Amino acid sequence: MIPLSHPRYRSLVTRERLAQYAKEGIVTLEGLTAHGRGEAFDYLLGERTTDSAIVAERTAAALLLRARHPVISVNGNTAALAAPEIAALQKASGALVEVNLFHRTEERVRLIENLLRKAGSEVFSGEAEQLLPLPHDRAWCRRDGMYAADVVLVPLEDGDRCGVLMDMGKTVIAIDLNPLSRTARTATLTIVDELTRALPRITGACQDLSAADQDRLIASLNNNYLLSDAIREMTGRLSHALDREVPPGHV
Ligand code: ATP
């Protein structure tokens, strides 16, 4: 009997949840396809957190703790997949939580903010302005929120906005299962791990990193190494993929 905690069941439950949130207007159809891309890369990773991702998660905690004005940027997929985990990270890191959407309507912003609040986040929701130099709706953010941030955590980001935030001189932390994406390659720090595995580890590290650990992690940050290691993990697993029996539950 395959336990219900098996990754295969977890991913089916997650898909059902996303489909439900899509019906409610929180997740877009484009968001569903982005999730599928993430699942494919997670499959290559073996649906587990690698050692280099753990280092990246601890480094992310150090950057958030050392920030003057840290902001967690939340889109529809992030809210649907991880609203309680975002609330826990906000408490541990002191970061602002701000909604930023590619497909932006006032109604969607309100739905996502409500979902986050219900899960325990304090959402920063002042007047949004078109402040980022982007030709689409992700340009909208708050002057005292993301626009003023020195460190921004961008789970499931698109490459354009990541590049713009970097050009503005911000430290950008991405969570992206695809180590080849423009976001992954542009950000200051990329965590190549699944969102709901990554967030609790960042929160845990926020609670127990010493000042000396924070200094050491920030000083040794090397995003190219982290991405290369993720690619090594994937190619290593692929080269031996047919040596293993089909694991139970992989239908
Ligand atoms: P880019 O613009 O950066 O080149 P992209 O076109 O893939 O990448 P999006 O589709 O906006 O941009 O980004 C979604 C990214 O999030 C994808 O790279 C996908 O691998 C990743 N992703 C999707 N779901 C998850 C998840 N649950 N955890 C971590 N990463 C995920």
CA atoms 159, 20, 5, 208: torsion sign: positive
Ligand 1 center to 250 CA (angstroms): 23
Contact 190 CB / ligand 1 (< 6 Å): no
Ligand 1 center to 29 CA (angstroms): 14
Q: Which atom belonging to ligand 1 lies closest to the Cα atom of 195?
A: 28
Which residue, among 77, 65, 10, 9, has the nearest Cα to 37 in the 3D structure? 77
What is the residue-wise DSSP string for 25-66? TSS-HHHHHHHHHHHHHHHHHTSS--HHHHHHHHHHHHHHHH
pLDDT digits (tens, 9 = 90+) for 147-157: 999 999 999 98
Give dist(CA 52, CA 230) in Å, integer: 7
What is the arithmetic mean of pLDDT over 88-114?
96
Ligand 1 center to 4 CA (angstroms): 26
Q: Provide the β-strand partners of residue 72.
A: 97, 153
pLDDT digits (tens, 9 = 90+) for 191-204: 999 999 999 999 99
Residue of the CA atom closest to atom 15 of ligand 1: 156
- Global confidence as pTM: 0.94
Contact 163 CB / ligand 1 (< 6 Å): no
- The residue extents of the domains of the chain are 51-234
With beta carbons less than 8 A apart as the criterion, state whether 176 and 35 touch: no
What element of type H or E holds 70?
Answer: strand 70-74
How many C-beta atoms lie closer than 10 Å to residue 251's C-beta? 7
Contact 183 CB / ligand 1 (< 6 Å): yes
Asked if the model's pLDDT at residue 7 lies above 80, the reply is no
Return the pLDDT at 243: 86
What element of type H or E holds 24?
Answer: helix 7-24
Three-class SS of residue 67? coil
Contact 175 CB / ligand 1 (< 6 Å): yes
Q: Candidates 3.30.420.40, 3.40.50.720, 3.40.50.12640, 1.20.1250.20; correct CATH number of 51-234?
A: 3.40.50.12640
List the 171-175 sheet strands across, edge first: 96-99, 70-74, 151-155, 171-175, 189-191
Give residues with Cβ within 8 angstroms of 207, minimum separation 6: 92
Tell which one of 43, 102, 183 to mutate to probe ligand 1, the residue whose CB is within 8 A of the most ligand atoms: 183
Contact 46 CB / ligand 1 (< 6 Å): no
pLDDT digits (tens, 9 = 90+) for 106-123: 999 999 999 999 999 999
Grade residue 251 by pLDDT with cuts at 50, 70 and 90.
Answer: very low
Ligand 1 center to 165 CA (angstroms): 17
Q: Which atom belonging to ligand 1 lies closest to the Cα atom of 193?
A: 29
pLDDT digits (tens, 9 = 90+) for 41-86: 999 999 999 999 999 999 999 999 999 999 999 999 999 999 999 9
Q: Which atom belonging to ligand 1 lies closest to the Cα atom of 194?
A: 28
In the chain, what is the straight-line distance between the N-terminal and C-terminal CA atoms, in Å? 14
Give residues with Cβ within 8 angstroms of 195, minimum separation 6: 38, 78, 81, 82, 85, 155, 156, 175
